[in-house]
C-alpha cells in the first residue's frame, strides 16, 4: 500500500517545524505510514511542477491563531487547489497563546471555509492545535475540552491511499485547444504568439499561448488583467496546439491534464500547467478541403511557391534587396508579393508596439499571412528585422519543407548605424526610442540560413542577383524565362 504524502505548509514562524517534528514522532509510534515534507514557500511548489515530483495527498496548512487567515494561508490554499490536492487540513496552531480560544478558532474556521469554497477545495478539515505541546496532534488536549473532533494523526490515518479509480472511470478526450492555468518558471517572460513545445503525458506538440486572460495576485487571489507572465507568476490562458492530443482535466487526472512547456531553442523548461477544459471551438471548426489547391495554383503560374524571409538589422538593406528581387521576378512574369515591415505596421499590425511580446505577435501574424500567400501559389517576400530565432522557426514550420528560404542580410551594427536611413539609431542612442534592435533589444543571428548576403561586400544589385540565382538553382523559377513565355 503506497504511503500517504503529507505537505506541511504555512507562513514564517507559524509552527511548521515543530509540527513536522511532532508528526515524525507520531509516525514512528505506528500512526503512519506518512511521508512528511515541508512546502514553505512558492519555490517548493514551482519546483514540484517543474520536476514532475509527486504531489501531496494531504496539505496541512499551519497558521498562527493570533494572526488568523493571512496572505500566506490564501497562497497555500490556492496551490492546494491548483495541484488538486485531495485533502486539506487547516491546523490552527498556538491555541495556547490566545484568549477565548474556542471563539477564536470558530472565527478562523469560518474564514478559511469561505476561502476553501472560493478556491474549490474539497475534503477540508479544521482543528485547533499546539504543536509545541502536542495538543490535538496525537492525543486530545485537556486544555481544549470544547474540541471533540479527531486529532491530526487520526485525520491523516483516515486518508485512503491514492487509487487509479478516477482515471479508469474517466476516458480521455481529444482536443487541440484548451483553457489552462500556467505557472511561469523562466526568467524570460512568456510571449504571446511564441511557439513552445508542450509535453502532455507521453505526447508532445507545438503550442502557442494566446491570449493570457488574467494572472493571479497570490496575496489577495484577485484576478489581474495581463498580456504576459514573468517568472513565478500564475495566469489563466488559452493554449493552442498544432495537433490533437488526448487529455483529461487536471482535477480528474493529473497525468493526463498536467503539462510542461519547453523552449524550442534552448530545451529548457519554461512553464508548467494544468488543463481546465477543451475549448468548444476546437471541436466545431474543421479544415475544409478545397478542389483548387496550392499545387494547382502553382502549376498555373509556372513556379514553385515559397517564402523569401529576409532578416537582419535595421538599415541592413533588407527592403532594398527584397524590392529589387521582386522587380526582377515581376519582369519575368512571376507571381509575387512583398510584405514590408513598415508597410504592414500601417495596417494589419498598427495596434502593435515594439516590446518583445509585440515583436513576437508581429511576426506571428506576418507568418500566417505569408502562409496564405504561399497557398495561393505566390513567391512571397517578407522584409522584417524578425530578431528572434524562435519566431523565424515558427514561420518556417508553417509551410512545407523547401518552401521557406531564410535570407540573412548580414551587416555589422556599426555599418547599419552609420547608414541609419530613417534616423532610428540616433533616436535609440539618445534614449528617445526604446526596445530598438541592436541597441537595447537583442538580435539573434540565424544559425543556418539558406542564403547569407554580406552587404559590406555586395551592392544591392549584386545581392538581388544572388537571390534570383539561388531561386533558379533550387528550381523555384526556371532560368531564362522571358517576357511573354507562357511555359
Catalytic residue set: 386
Cβ pair 108, 124 in contact under 8 A:
no
Query: Which value, to the nearest 10 degrees, does the dihedral of the CA atoms of residues 380, 386, 391, 397 take?
Result: 20
Number of other CB atoms surrounding residue 103 within 10 Å: 11
**Residue at grid coordinates 511576426:** 363
Q: Extract the runs of DSSP E, i.e. beta strands, from 49-123.
A: 58-64, 87-93
Terminal CA-to-CA distance of the chain, rounded, Å? 76
Cβ pair 278, 175 in contact under 8 A:
yes
**Residue at grid coordinates 507559524:** 14
d(CA 82, CA 398): 34
d(CA 363, CA 134): 61
d(CA 314, CA 431): 17
Pair type for strands 258-263 and 195-200: antiparallel
Q: Residue 40: which of 10, 71, 80, 74 has the closest Cα?
A: 10
3-class SS of residue 283:
helix
d(CA 274, CA 249): 8
Task: Write out the three cell numbers for 453.
Answer: 548576403
H or E stretch at 254 = helix 254-257
- Region of residue 350 (left: phi > 0; alpha: psi -120 to 50; beta: else): alpha
C-alpha angle 311/313/317, rounded to 5°? 75
Amino acid at each position: 500500500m503506497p504511503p500517504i504524502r503529507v505537505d506541511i505548509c504555512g507562513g514564517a514562524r507559524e509552527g511548521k517545524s515543530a509540527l513536522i517534528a511532532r508528526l515524525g514522532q507520531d509516525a514512528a509510534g505506528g500512526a503512519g505510514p506518512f511521508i512528511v515534507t515541508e512546502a514553505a514557500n512558492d519555490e517548493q511548489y514551482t519546483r514540484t511542477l517543474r520536476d514532475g515530483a509527486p504531489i501531496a495527498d494531504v496539505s496541512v496548512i499551519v497558521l498562527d491563531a493570533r494572526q488568523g487567515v493571512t496572505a500566506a494561508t490564501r497562497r497555500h490554499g490556492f496551490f492546494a487547489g491548483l495541484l488538486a490536492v485531495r485533502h486539506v487540513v487547516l491546523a490552527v496552531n498556538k491555541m495556547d497563546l490566545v484568549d477565548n480560544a474556542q471563539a477564536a478558532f470558530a472565527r478562523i474556521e469560518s474564514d478559511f471555509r469561505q476561502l476553501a469554497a472560493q478556491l474549490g477545495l474539497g475534503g477540508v478539515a479544521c482543528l485547533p492545535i499546539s504543536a509545541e505541546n502536542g495538543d490535538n496532534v496525537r492525543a486530545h488536549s485537556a486544555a481544549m475540552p470544547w474540541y471533540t473532533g479527531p486529532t491530526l494523526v487520526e485525520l491523516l490515518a483516515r486518508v485512503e491511499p491514492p487509487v487509479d479509480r478516477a482515471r479508469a472511470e474517466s476516458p480521455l478526450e481529444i482536443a487541440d485547444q484548451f483553457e489552462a492555468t500556467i505557472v511561469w518558471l523562466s526568467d524570460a517572460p512568456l510571449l504571446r504568439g511564441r511557439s513552445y513545445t508542450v509535453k502532455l503525458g507521453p505526447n508532445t506538440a507545438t503550442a502557442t499561448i494566446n491570449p493570457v486572460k488574467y494572472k493571479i495576485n497570490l496575496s489577495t487571489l484577485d484576478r489581474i488583467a495581463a498580456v504576459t507572465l514573468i517568472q513565478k507568476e500564475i495566469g489563466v490562458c488559452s493554449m493552442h496546439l498544432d495537433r490533437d492530443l488526448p487529455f483529461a482535466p487536471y482535477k480528474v487526472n493529473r497525468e493526463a491534464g498536467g503539462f510542461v512547456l519547453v523552449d524550442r531553442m534552448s530545451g529548457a523548461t519554461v512553464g508548467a500547467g494544468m488543463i481546465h477544459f477543451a475549448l468548444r471551438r476546437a471541436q466545431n471548426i474543421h479544415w475544409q478541403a478545397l478542389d483548387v489547391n496550392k499545387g494547382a495554383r502553382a502549376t498555373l503560374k509556372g513556379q514553385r511557391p515559397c517564402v523569401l524571409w529576409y532578416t537582419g538589422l535595421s538599415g541592413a538593406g533588407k527592403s532594398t534587396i527584397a524590392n529589387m528581387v521582386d522587380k526582377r521576378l515581376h519582369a519575368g512574369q512571376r507571381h509575387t508579393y512583398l510584405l514590408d515591415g513598415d508597410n504592414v505596421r500601417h495596417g494589419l499590425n498598427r495596434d502593435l508596439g515594439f516590446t518583445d511580446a509585440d515583436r513576437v505577435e508581429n511576426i506571428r501574424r506576418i507568418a500566417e499571412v505569408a502562409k496564405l500567400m504561399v497557398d495561393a501559389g505566390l513567391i512571397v517576400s517578407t522584409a522584417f528585422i524578425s530578431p528572434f530565432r524562435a519566431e523565424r522557426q515558427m514561420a518556417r514550420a508553417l509551410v512545407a519543407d523547401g518552401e521557406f528560404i531564410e535570407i540573412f542580410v548580414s551587416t555589422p551594427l556599426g555599418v547599419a548605424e552609420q547608414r541609419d536611413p530613417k534616423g532610428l539609431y540616433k533616436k535609440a542612442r539618445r534614449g528617445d526610442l526604446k526596445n530598438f534592435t541592436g541597441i537595447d533589444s537583442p538580435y539573434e543571428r540565424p544559425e543556418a540560413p539558406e542564403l547569407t548576403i554580406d552587404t559590406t561586400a555586395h551592392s544591392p544589385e549584386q545581392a538581388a542577383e544572388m537571390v534570383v540565382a539561388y531561386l533558379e538553382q533550387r528550381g523555384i523559377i526556371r532560368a531564362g524565362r522571358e517576357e511573354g513565355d507562357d511555359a
